[in-house]
Structure 1
Amino acid sequence: MPLHVLPAPTPALRSVLAALGSPTAVSEEHTPALRSVQGPVSPESPLPVHVLDQIVPSTSPPCTRLAGWRFMIRSQARSVAAAEVILTPDGWTFSHFFEGPYLRSTDRALRQAESMSTPVQPRLLSIPELYMLTLWLHGDPDADAECATPLPSDILVPLAPAPPGIAPDRPTRVADLLPVMTLRLAPEPLLGSPA
């Protein structure tokens, strides 16, 4: 099943292309793979990045907000880095390049999602309270990127490294994973005083 990848806003793509052409942006110290790549690179697989600001137990689905777009930077069919674009008052603007474990985990989750039998729209969902990032497979493949409500039947794939108690790379319905995430944030019960 092909994923229904949304096209990124044109200014977002332009800002990444401009950054890729900038020796200053590419020479950032935390992207050695991007600096050392031989041959052309291209921004591919644009994913809208949504942020879930607060996890609270509720009967309604959580709301998120569109915070940016992430592009996988590929060289010779492999990801070497990612580029993040954020929305500013002046429009979509390049933020930074990065690499690390989320890069490999995102590629792995996207490949896994391609084998699903139902059409989905891939997005990224960041849960700052848990220092967690997931691939969000939205069940409405034609939804606008700004649509910010995960459906209970949507699938989340926690990217590695995932928080303790949450299995990375395991596709899980929102209705099943949200209670686990809520439980991870619940305060520990106070122990009774010593006897």
Structure 2
Amino acid sequence: MPLHVPPAPAPALRSVLAALHSPTAVSEARTPALRSVQGTLCPELPLPVHVLDQIVPSGRAPYTRLTGWRFLIRSGDRAVAAADTVLTPDGWTFSHFFEGPYLNSTERALGQAESLAPDFQPRLLSIPELYMLTLWLHSDTESDASAGTPRPTDVLVPLAPAPPGIAAHLPHLVADLLPVMTLRLSPAPLLGTPA
């Protein structure tokens, strides 16, 4: 099924394009692949980046907030880097370029998502408490990509590297994965005390 990639705010895209055309921004980036590319660089697949601020064990919907937009930077048919933008008081602005394991993992998860049914709106969901990043496949393809919380029927695909005990690239319903994440964050009982 096709993914319904939401359009990024125009200022976010413009800020990434300006950074790509800035010799200073590219040369100072800690992305050897980006500095060594010959040819055209193109920002594609804008994904809103949400942060799960707190996993709520009570069964209520988790609280999330939009923190930026991430663009995959392509050279030809492959992603060589990513660019993040952030919202400032003056609007959307370029933050930084990067590469690393999440770049290839994001591409792989997006490829997996295209084979799933039904249609989804792709987003990224960061879970700082677990040092975890997931591809969040939101079931409401018409919703505002900057808002919302994961629904029980949404799908999360943990990106590699995933935390111990959570398999990367294995799609999970939010209703199934959220209790696992909650359990991982629950304090262990002290030895010698009743649980």
- Distance in 1, Cα, partners of 2:101 & 2:152: 28
User: Post-superposition shift, 1:29?
Assistant: 4.8
The aligned amino acid for 2:82 is A
Residues 1:6 and 2:6 aligned together: yes
Q: Deviations over 1:120-155 (max 9, x none)?
A: 000000011111100000000010012221100000
Q: Any stretches of 5+ residues in structure 2 without a counterpart? A: none
Residue number in structure 1 paired with 2:159: 159
Residue number in structure 2 paired with 1:123: 123
**Would the alpha carbon gap of residues 146 and 29 (structure 1) be closer, same or farther in structure 2, given more than 3 Å must change?**
closer
Q: Deviations over 1:21-65 (max 9, x none)?
A: 111111135200000011001000000000011112022221210
Q: Any stretches of 5+ residues in structure 1 without a counterpart? A: none
Tell me how many residue pairs correspond in the alignment. 193
Residue number in structure 2 paired with 1:182: 182
The aligned amino acid for 2:92 is W
- Distance in 2, Cα, partners of 1:177 & 1:59: 12
- Distance in 2, Cα, partners of 1:67 & 1:160: 21
- Distance in 1, Cα, partners of 2:118 & 2:148: 20
Residue number in structure 1 paired with 2:102: 102
- Distance in 1, Cα, partners of 2:83 & 2:5: 17
Q: Is the CA contact 1:162–1:168 (under 8 Å) kept in the aligned structure 2?
A: yes
Q: Is the CA contact 1:50–1:148 (under 8 Å) kept in the aligned structure 2?
A: no
With normalisation by structure 1, the TM-score equals 0.97
- Distance in 1, Cα, partners of 2:170 & 2:28: 33
Residue number in structure 2 paired with 1:147: 147
The aligned amino acid for 1:70 is R
| Amino-acid identity (%) | 76
Moved more, 141-150 or 78-87: 141-150
Q: Residues 76-115 of structure 1 correspond to what in structure 2 (within 5 A)? A: 76-115=76-115
SS of structure 2 residue aligned to 1:129: helix
RMSD over aligned CA atoms reads 1.0
Q: Deviations over 1:87-118 (max 9, x none)?
A: 01110010000000000000000000011120
- Structure 1 segments (4+ residues) deviating >4 Å: none
With normalisation by structure 2, the TM-score equals 0.97
Moved more, 115-124 or 24-33: 24-33
The aligned amino acid for 2:2 is P
